[in-house]
Structure 1
Amino acid sequence: MKKKSRFKRLIKYIIFILLIAGTVYGLNYFFESREAVTYTPPITPVTVIKATQGNIDKGIKLSTHIEADSMIPVVPFVSGTIEEYNIKDSQKVEKDEILAVIDRDAYYQQMLQAKAGYLAYESAYKRVKELNSLGAATDQDLDTVTAQRDAAKAQLELANLQLSYTEVKAPIAGTIIKAPQAVGDIASNQAPIAVIADLDNLVVNVSVPEKYYRAINSNIENLRFSVSSNNSTSSATLISIAPFIDPTTKTFNIKLKIDEPSLFTIGMYAKAEIIYESKNDIKVLPQSIRKSDGSLYIVENEVAKHITFVPEIENDSFFQVPLGYEDAFFIDEGHNDVLDGEKVNIKEM
C-alpha cells in the first residue's frame, strides 16, 4: 500500500512539472512568434518664415513730464494791500502788462517826502555853488552840500522806483497758470502774485541711466527724439546733454524741446524716446521667433537646426538676421517644441 501511494505522488509531481514546462514553452513560443511593434514618434509640425527687408531703430523710452522752458513766479518787490487784480488762470498776457496794483498811498507819500528833501538840497547846492564862485564859500562847503544833494536825489529815485513797483507787471509774455491772490489780499515778496509760463516753448527733462552715456554721446549727430502723451506724439529737438553723471541716481540729464507744443500741456505724464542707433534696408525678423535664451531654429532638408548668435542690432520688436542666413527658413510656430536635428513637418500658412 505504501509503494502504491508513493507511486501516485510521483505521477502527480511528473504531471505538475510537465504542465509547468508546457506553459513556459507555450508562452515562449507566443512571444517569439509575435510580430515586433516599434514606436514611431510623430513628426513635429512647424511653420517657417523668411527674413524681410526693413529698418531697425535702437533706443530707449523713459518716463518724464511736460514742462515750460520759461515758468516764472511773479513776486512783488513791495508789500501792501492788493487793490486791483486783473488776471485769472489760463489768461494770456503780454510782457509788461499790469497784473495787479498794490495800495500806493504810503509809497506816494514816501516819494513826496523824498522829493521835498531833494529840492531843498538842490536849492542849497545852487546857493553854495554861487557863493563858492565868489569866494564866499569854501570848496569843502561845496563838496558837503553836493554830497547831501546827491544822497537826497538817490532817495528820491528809490522812492519813485518803489512807487512804480506798486504796479506788478508781467516779466514775459505767456499764459497765467496760477493766479493765487485776490483783491484785498496782502502782497509780499514771500508769495507770488502769479505764475506765468511760455506754453509755446515746452520741454522735457529726461533722466537717462549712465550705461547709455557713451552710446548717446558718441552718436550726437544721428540722435533722434520724440515725446508722446495721451496718444499724441511730437518730434523733439535736443537742447542739452549734461556733461556729468549724478552719483546719487547714476543718471545724466537730457533736455529736449518739443517741436509741436500745442499737442501737450504743462504737467502731463509723457514718454520720451531717444534713438541712438539705426540701420536701414537690412534683413530683419520678429523677436517672437527666438527662444528665451535668444537662440532660434532654421529648417534644412526638413530637419531643425539650432543656431546661437548675437544680433548686430535689435530692439524690442525685431532683430537683424545673422550673417549667412539671409535666405534661410526660420521656424516660427513650434520653435519651442523641436530639438536640434529633429525632423519636422512644415505646415502650410
Structure 2
Amino acid sequence: MFSGVAKALLAGVLVAGTAALGGCGDHGEGVAQARAAEAAKGTDAVPVEVAKATRRAVAASYTGTGALEARAEAQVVAKTSGIAMEVFAEEGQQVKAGQVLVRLDSDRARLQVAQAAAQVRKLEANYKRAVQLEAQQMVSANDLDQLKYDLANARAAWDMARLELSYTSVAAPISGVVASRDIKPGNFVQINSPIFRIVDGSRLEVTLNVPERELAKLQAGQSVTLAADALPGRTFEGTVDRVSPVVDTGTGTFRVVAAFPGQGDLHAGMFCRLSINYDQRADALVIPRAALLEDGGEPAVYVARDGKAARTVLKLGYDDSGWVEVREGLKEGDAVVVAGKAALREGSTVQVLDRDAPAQADAKAKVPAAQAPR
C-alpha cells in the first residue's frame, strides 16, 4: 500500500521516535540519581544549632552557700535564784541594752542589804571613836588596824549585798529582738539558767569556707550578691567584711565573712547563695557555656565552617551567668555548635538549623486569616 519513499519515511519516523523515547528515559534516570544523591547527602548531614562568638562584659566571681547569722546574739541567764514576779518582754519584741526583762522576788536581797548597811554604820562609828582614842594613846595601833580591816570587810559585804539585789532585775545585755522566752510569771528561776535569747538583726553575716586557691582574689570590701531560697527572684547586696589570712590545714580552706544590713526581709537562719565579684572585663569575647564539649579533655568546641564541623581547642577565662570567656582559639563571629554536638566528629557535615524558625512559624500560625498578608 505504501510506496518505497513512504516506507522509508515511516521507518525514519519510527527510528527517531524510538531514539527520542530512549533519550527521555536516560534523562529521567539521571534526575532520579541526582535526587537520590542529594537526599543521601542531606541524610548524612547532622542537624545542629549554632551561636556566634560575641563580645560582652563578664565578671569573675566566687560562689558559695551558707546560712545567715546575727552578728550579735546573747543568751540571757539569771545571776541569782528567785521567783519571777514580773516578765516584761515577749518573743519578737525589740529591746534595748540595759532594759529590764524580768523582775525576781527581791525581799531577801533587800534585807541582806539592810543588814550589811547596819554593820557598816556600826563599824564606822567604832572606827571613828578608836581614832580619837588612839590620839590619846588609849587604843593600840593593832586594835585600830583590826577595826579598819573589819570596816573594809563590812563595806565589801554591803557592796555584795547590793549587787545581789541588782541581780533580781534581769536586764538585756544587748539591743535586739527577743528570739525566745523560757520563763513565765510565777516560775522559780535557778541561778545561771537561760531565760531569754536576744538576736541583734541589724547586721547579718554569712561565713564561707573558701578553697585556698582563691586566697589571693578575695579581700575585704568586695561586693557580694545574696539570693535566699525563702525569697525567690530577689537579690540583696552586701560586702566582704573580713577575710581570714590563715588556711585550715585539715580542709584546705579559709574563712570569708560577708555582711548584710538587717531589719528587712532577711532574717537569721535563712539559707542563701552568695556570689563575690572580684574582677570584671568590659569587652570580652564570649560563647554560651552550652557550646563546650563534655568529653573530659581540654576545653574545646565544634565550629561550623563551610558546612563542616571543626573541633577547636580553647583557652578559657572567666565564667559568668551562662557565658564563658574565650582567651584563645576563636574570633568574633565564629559559629560554635550549641545543640547537636554529641553526634559530631571532626569533619562531620552539618546542617545549621535556624533556632528562630519554629518561633516564627508559630507566630505566623497565630495570625488570623483576615489579617494574613495576601
Q: TM-score range by the shorter chain?
A: 0.7 to 0.9
Q: 1:313 aligns with which of 306, 314, 318?
A: 318
Q: 1:272 aligns with which of 267, 271, 274?
A: 274
Q: Counterpart amino acid of 1:238?
A: V
Work out the CA distance in 1 between the residues paired with 2:192 and 2:349: 80
Work out the CA distance in 2 between the residues paired with 1:155 and 1:126: 20
Match of 1:228 in 2: 227
Match of 2:53 in 1: 51
Alignment of 1:139-288 (within 5 A): 139-208=141-210, 210=211, 213-220=212-219, 223-229=222-228, 230=230, 231=232, 232-259=234-261, 261-288=263-290
Greater share of strand: 2
Work out the CA distance in 2 between the residues paired with 1:95 and 1:222: 29
CA offset digits 1:9-55 (Å, max 9, x no partner): xxxxxxxxxxxxxxxxxxxxxxxxxx999865532333332122222
TM-score (norm 1): 0.81
Q: Counterpart amino acid of 2:332?
A: E
Work out the CA distance in 2 between the residues paired with 1:261 and 1:50: 46
Matched, 1:343 2:349: yes
CA-CA distance at 1:307 after TM superposition: 0.5
Q: Counterpart amino acid of 2:163?
A: L
Matched, 1:78 2:80: yes
Report if the CA contact (8 A) 1:222-1:276 is conserved: no
Which stretch of structure 1 is more off in the superposition, 134-143 or 80-89? Answer: 134-143
Q: Counterpart amino acid of 1:145?
A: L
Report if the CA contact (8 A) 2:178-2:199 is conserved: yes
CA-CA distance at 1:91 after TM superposition: 0.8
CA-CA distance at 1:223 after TM superposition: 3.5
Match of 1:26 in 2: none
Work out the CA distance in 2 between the residues paired with 1:270 and 1:313: 23
Work out the CA distance in 1 between the residues paired with 2:253 and 2:189: 40
Work out the CA distance in 1 between the residues paired with 2:309 and 2:318: 25
SS in 2 for 1:190: coil
Match of 1:23 in 2: none
SS in 2 for 1:332: strand
CA offset digits 1:231-287 (Å, max 9, x no partner): 242112222222323344443222221135512112222222233443332121111
Match of 2:300 in 1: 295
Any gaps of 5 or more consecutive residues in structure 2? 1-29, 356-374
Work out the CA distance in 1 between the residues paired with 2:338 and 2:217: 36
Report if the CA contact (8 A) 1:236-1:256 is conserved: yes
Judging changes above 3 Å, is the alpha-carbon distance between structure 1 residues 260 and 172 closer, same or farther for their aligned structure 2 residues? closer
Q: 1:304 aligns with which of 306, 309, 324?
A: 309
Work out the CA distance in 2 between the residues paired with 1:222 and 1:87: 37
Work out the CA distance in 1 between the residues paired with 2:220 and 2:80: 49
Measured on the aligned residues, the alpha-carbon RMSD in Å equals 2.5
User: Structure 1 runs of 4+ off > 6 angstroms?
Assistant: 35-39
Report if the CA contact (8 A) 2:202-2:261 is conserved: no
Report if the CA contact (8 A) 2:221-2:241 is conserved: no
Match of 2:7 in 1: none
CA offset digits 1:323-348 (Å, max 9, x no partner): 35223222233322232223333334
CA-CA distance at 1:222 after TM superposition: 7.6
Work out the CA distance in 2 between the residues paired with 1:221 and 1:122: 60
TM-score (norm 2): 0.76
Work out the CA distance in 2 between the residues paired with 1:290 and 1:221: 34
Report if the CA contact (8 A) 2:49-2:352 is conserved: yes
SS in 2 for 1:197: strand
Report if the CA contact (8 A) 1:89-1:179 is conserved: yes
CA-CA distance at 1:74 after TM superposition: 1.1
Judging changes above 3 Å, is the alpha-carbon distance between structure 1 residues 250 and 322 closer, same or farther for their aligned structure 2 residues? closer
Judging changes above 3 Å, is the alpha-carbon distance between structure 1 residues 106 and 249 closer, same or farther for their aligned structure 2 residues? farther
Match of 1:63 in 2: 65
Percent identity (aligned): 24
Which stretch of structure 1 is more off in the superposition, 94-103 or 55-64? Answer: 55-64
SS in 2 for 1:199: strand
Report if the CA contact (8 A) 2:178-2:197 is conserved: yes
Any gaps of 5 or more consecutive residues in structure 1? 1-34
Report if the CA contact (8 A) 1:234-1:260 is conserved: no
Q: Counterpart amino acid of 1:264?
A: L
Work out the CA distance in 2 between the residues paired with 1:68 and 1:243: 23
